[in-house]
Amino acid sequence: MQLEQRLIQEIMPHARIDNIRYYLSALNSVLSEYEITTPLRVAHFLAQIGHESGSLRYTQENLNYSAVALSSVFGKYFPTSAMASDYARKPEKIANRVYADRMGNSDEASGDGWRYRGRGLIQLTGKHNYQQCGEAIGQDLLSQPELVCSDPDVAVKSACFYWQSRKLNALADQDELVTITRKINGGLHGLEDRAAFLNRAKQFMSIDRGV
């Protein structure tokens, strides 16, 4: 199915027109490659990227945390208030610490945490995920990780790669919003917002709410 600007505006009422236009062509050319083609699959996909990207506004992880936020969100990496204060409001330094030695990243000094921080419409995070995604979509994302947020086709393809790798089409067919959210978020953060996007998608795409 072909998406139109007006439909995305209705589903994402807070999205900027220029952001919709920026991604529209890529969405229409890429979704079919990943079999995100039925109304229900498209509705669930748009609901998730709508939430994850703040209605297509944000494609890079915001790591500009205060000391208090670091202690609250990443407490195990900042066990003392002094350490949290030392890292506060230093996004690159924060990323290099919290993402060190995991997801294929090397140690804090390597800079991998910042280099492979969350990017894209469904945030791709960690060197291993960038490598896997790059191989799948035919892009060298290890040397050019910024493509995930600077190129609309790569941004959409990376989101679709993530979607496909978690087998989310099958869950969308079953209208499993909660399970899809867990697969993407690791929990249920923002579930109410995701549900609102999905309900608008169903309304404006004329999908039976009982599907």
Structure tokens at 190: 């923002």
The residue assigned the tokens 């202690």 is 71
Query: What distance in Å separates the CA atoms of residue 165 and residue 175, rounded to the nearest whole number?
Result: 18
- Which sequence positions are flagged as catalytic? 52
- Where do you find CATH 1.10.530.10 in the chain? 5-59+126-135+148-204
Check: CB of residue 207 under 8 Å from CB of residue 43: yes
The three-state secondary structure class of 119 is: strand
Higher pLDDT, 6 or 208: 6
- pLDDT value of residue 85: 97
Q: How confident is the model at residue 210 (pLDDT cuts 50, 70, 90)?
A: low
Largest CA-CA distance found in the chain, in angstroms, rounded: 54
pLDDT digits (tens, 9 = 90+) for 38-63: 999 999 999 999 999 999 999 999 99
For 5-59+126-135+148-204, give the CATH class. Answer: mainly alpha
| pLDDT above 50: residue 211 | no
Region 186-208: mean pLDDT is 95
